[in-house]
Chain A
Amino acid sequence: MTQSAFLSFNSVSKRYQNQEILREFDLTINDGEFFTILGPSGCGKTTILRLIAGFEQPDHGCVVLDGQDIGNLPAEHRPTNTVFQSYALFPHMSIYDNIAFGLKMSGVDKAEIKQRVHEALSVVQLDGFENRKPHQLSGGQKQRVAIARAIINRPKVLLLDESLSALDYKLRQQMQNELKRIQRQLNITFVYVTHDQEEALTMSDRVLVINNGQAQQIGTPREIYESPVNLFVARFIGESNIFKAKITQCLDNYQYIAEIYGLQWKITADHKFAVDEHVNVILRPEDLRVMYSEDAPQEPGFVGKIIERNYTGKTLDSVIQLDNGHILGISEFFNEDDPDFDYNINQKVWVNWVHGWEHVIKADER
């Protein structure tokens, strides 16, 4: 993968009816990467996609694709194609005509259209479906046709608008792998928009987390999951236990002693902090260590009781209420030593974590 800016937003602003969606928004997407824009509904992610596709024009700033400012180029003239959330197949055309539509519009000759439709169908593994009608296909098959219809035009960027959200869980997982395979096979830049963090983590090379039109964090899936830069990202990506803490002592090498709920904890951060500074210590549910109170070792730990236990198959997800009233979520994998491991409601437990698994962010960052 070449690491060059291929698609960029330079200080793009966009409003709808006096509501500012994007303000001086910057974005850089590399050539050939699977880039995901992740955010809650109404955060501006679909607007970004529509600005790339050309369904919207920026009020200010420019959208540059492969060295060319495409900001005011209408959608029909842009080298981009979109896979819509609702598939939006043409109901009156056969699968062949649906997929051939883009090529017909650009005047490609019939023999080449035929060959390329067959290629596209084989990429999405729907060989032999040429003569079917959209209403004869299942949701997953429609989705594949929509992808074939978009990629056949060999776009510079393929845009996917929550393209998998209408599929059921199993099919969605399968299509996630399919999309990754297609992207590798074609080496086209994919820009995927979703509110589903699992989808974003699974498929992407890089993820942009966005909220209220503001970029929160850009990074690899691992970076945004393990090192969220602020509380929004920490809460939006996966589950988080957030402890309010105060630095009480600075050791060397980014090591600190912090006070959490009256106990002193040794923590490691990637920022410099001063004594008395407030910080948030973030721990994922699977990073907390839980024991029955009676088995607890002679180490600092929080004491509480189980108020909820949920068996999910792979894990046992529990909710703990600490004696000081705070609520923690934990997630434990079953292990072979104790496959019947479980909690009773109101079970007394003891919680701590392995030093170094915590992630520390400044308290003033939301």
Chain B
Amino acid sequence: MNISTFSSLINFRRVVITLTLSWLTLFVLLPHLMVLLTSILSPDSEHLVVWPITLDNYTRIFEPIYANIFWDSLLLSGTTTVICLLIGYPFAYFLSNMTPTLRVVLLFLMVVPFWTNSLIRIYAIKMIIGKKGIINSFLLTTNIIDTPLQILYTDFAVVIGLVYILLPFMVLPLMASFDKLDKNLIEVGRDLGASAVNRFIHIILPLTAPGIIAGSLMVFLPAMGMFYVADILGGAKTLLLGNVIKNQFLVVRDWPFGSAFSVFLIVLMAALLAIYHRANSYIQQKGGLDDENL
């Protein structure tokens, strides 16, 4: 490499880094700092926020009403995660054992809905499960039921929506885990007399644990914030932490409290991610979960 191309490479790198940094500073760091600042100011009906600085917004988070919402939110996200895992795990297993062509086709089908805005897809679900939706019309006309089922505006509807939106985030890390799983190890298990159940418990499950954890986090964390799913499918109830935040900003117009709640959620997610990272590097270092740890 001669000097001029070398120096132009350096320049190119500098330009790219500067651009990225400015972008991140302007649109990520700055807004977050503003949220952080807002979260310690006082609310005001006229000016939205005013001095003085206070920590009241943070103490309010721990009021019982929010603890309930927090608990409900955890439950909904948790249920969503478990269902995604139950559907995604076998699906990822079959995907990773398929012929390459079939696999590309199925992955493609799974990703295609992403080309449509998720808000619109949630409205589509509403059309399907609503009182006059496709499911109810079908069941009514075939006389299986005589009053329409109440699916829409229940927690169940919210879970359906969350699972629908978030399933790919479970499948992709799981598939990566299954791809990394050495198929020889399963044959070794057979060779050493392990039944199908034992092969699953002692070999497949521990070695795909990193995928399970990654997938679960990638479903669980966003699920807590997806207020529009809860708004559209769950009715006017406040179900997710995301709904609390949205309501504080847009309905109650208590920006400092909404900001404090945002910060709280960010810290919570960061903590979960840190735990994941620790767990993952522990597993990576050992190559999988230990038998005894199961």
A residues at B contact (CB < 8 Å): 53-55, 74-77, 80-82, 84, 86, 88, 90-93, 97, 101-102, 105-106, 133-135, 149-150, 153
Question: In the complex, what residues of B have CB within 8 A of residue A55's CB?
Answer: 187, 190-191
Chain A residue nearest in CB terms to B191 = A82
Question: In the complex, what residues of B have CB within 8 A of residue A134's CB?
Answer: 287
Partner of B194, one of A80, A82, A105, A150: A105
Q: A91-B288, A97-B291 are in contact. Are A75 and B191 (CB under 8 A)?
A: yes
Q: Does B289 count as interface, using CB distance less than 8 angstroms?
A: yes
Chain A residue nearest in CB terms to B194 = A105
Q: Indicate if the CB atoms of B187 and A92 lie closer than 8 Å.
A: no
Question: In the complex, what residues of A have CB within 8 A of residue B193's CB?
Answer: 76-77, 102, 105-106, 153
What are 19 contact pairs spanning A and B, CB under 8 A? A53-B191, A55-B187, A74-B190, A75-B187, A76-B192, A76-B193, A76-B195, A81-B192, A82-B187, A82-B188, A82-B191, A84-B188, A88-B187, A91-B287, A92-B289, A101-B192, A102-B192, A105-B194, A150-B192
Q: A82-B187, A134-B287 are in contact. List 7 more A-B contacts (CB 8 A).
A: A75-B187, A82-B191, A84-B184, A90-B185, A102-B192, A105-B195, A153-B192
Measured in the bound complex, the distance between the Cα atoms of B291 and A86 in whole Å is 22
Measured in the bound complex, the distance between the Cα atoms of B203 and A164 in whole Å is 25
Partner of A149, one of B192, B198, B207: B192
Q: Indicate if the CB atoms of B182 and A88 lie closer than 8 Å.
A: yes
Q: Indicate if the CB atoms of A93 and B192 lie closer than 8 Å.
A: no
Q: Does B133 count as interface, using CB distance less than 8 angstroms?
A: no
Q: Indicate if the CB atoms of B287 and A76 lie closer than 8 Å.
A: no
Tally the A-B contacts, defined by beta carbons under 8 Å. 73
Question: In the complex, what residues of B have CB within 8 A of residue A88's CB?
Answer: 182, 184-185, 187-188
Q: Indicate if the CB atoms of A90 and B187 lie closer than 8 Å.
A: no
Question: In the complex, what residues of B have CB within 8 A of residue A82's CB?
Answer: 187-188, 191
Q: How many residues of B contact A (CB 8 A)?
A: 23
Q: Indicate if the CB atoms of A93 and B191 lie closer than 8 Å.
A: no
> A158 CB to closest chain B CB, in angstroms?
11
Q: A55-B187, A92-B290, A134-B287 are in contact. Are A101 and B194 (CB under 8 A)?
A: yes
Measured in the bound complex, the distance between the Cα atoms of B185 and A86 in whole Å is 10
Measured in the bound complex, the distance between the Cα atoms of B191 and A211 in whole Å is 27
Using an 8 Å CB-CB cutoff, how does the interface string of B165-207 with A read, 1 for contact, 0 for none? 0000000000000000010110111111111001000110011
Chain B residue nearest in CB terms to A106 = B193
Count chain B CB atoms within 10 A of each CB in A88, A134, A153 and give the residue with the most. Answer: A88
Q: Does B47 count as interface, using CB distance less than 8 angstroms?
A: no
> B195 CB to closest chain A CB, in angstroms?
6
* The 4 nearest A-B residue pairs measured at CB: A92-B288, A91-B287, A102-B192, A88-B184
Measured in the bound complex, the distance between the Cα atoms of B185 and A141 in whole Å is 18
Question: In the complex, what residues of A have CB within 8 A of residue B187's CB?
Answer: 55, 75, 82, 84, 88
> B179 CB to closest chain A CB, in angstroms?
15
Q: Indicate if the CB atoms of B287 and A135 lie closer than 8 Å.
A: yes
Q: Indicate if the CB atoms of A105 and B288 lie closer than 8 Å.
A: no
Question: In the complex, what residues of B have CB within 8 A of residue A106's CB?
Answer: 193
Partner of A133, one of B195, B203, B286: B286
> A14 CB to closest chain B CB, in angstroms?
17
Question: In the complex, what residues of B have CB within 8 A of residue A102's CB?
Answer: 192-193
Question: In the complex, what residues of B have CB within 8 A of residue A150's CB?
Answer: 191-192
> A356 CB to closest chain B CB, in angstroms?
48
Using an 8 Å CB-CB cutoff, how does the interface string of B232-261 with A read, 1 for contact, 0 for none? 000000000000000000000000000000
Question: In the complex, what residues of B have CB within 8 A of residue A80's CB?
Answer: 191
Count chain B CB atoms within 10 A of each CB in A88, A90, A91, A106 and give the residue with the most. Answer: A90
Measured in the bound complex, the distance between the Cα atoms of B285 and A133 in whole Å is 10
Measured in the bound complex, the distance between the Cα atoms of B99 and A283 in whole Å is 49
Chain B residue nearest in CB terms to A81 = B191
Measured in the bound complex, the distance between the Cα atoms of B291 and A92 in whole Å is 8
Question: In the complex, what residues of A have CB within 8 A of residue B289's CB?
Answer: 92
Q: Indicate if the CB atoms of B192 and A105 lie closer than 8 Å.
A: yes
Measured in the bound complex, the distance between the Cα atoms of B109 and A14 in whole Å is 37
Measured in the bound complex, the distance between the Cα atoms of B187 and A80 in whole Å is 13
Question: In the complex, what residues of A have CB within 8 A of residue B188's CB?
Answer: 82, 84, 88, 90
Measured in the bound complex, the distance between the Cα atoms of B188 and A92 in whole Å is 14
Chain A residue nearest in CB terms to B202 = A101
Q: A88-B184, A90-B203, A91-B207 are in contact. Are A76 and B290 (CB under 8 A)?
A: no
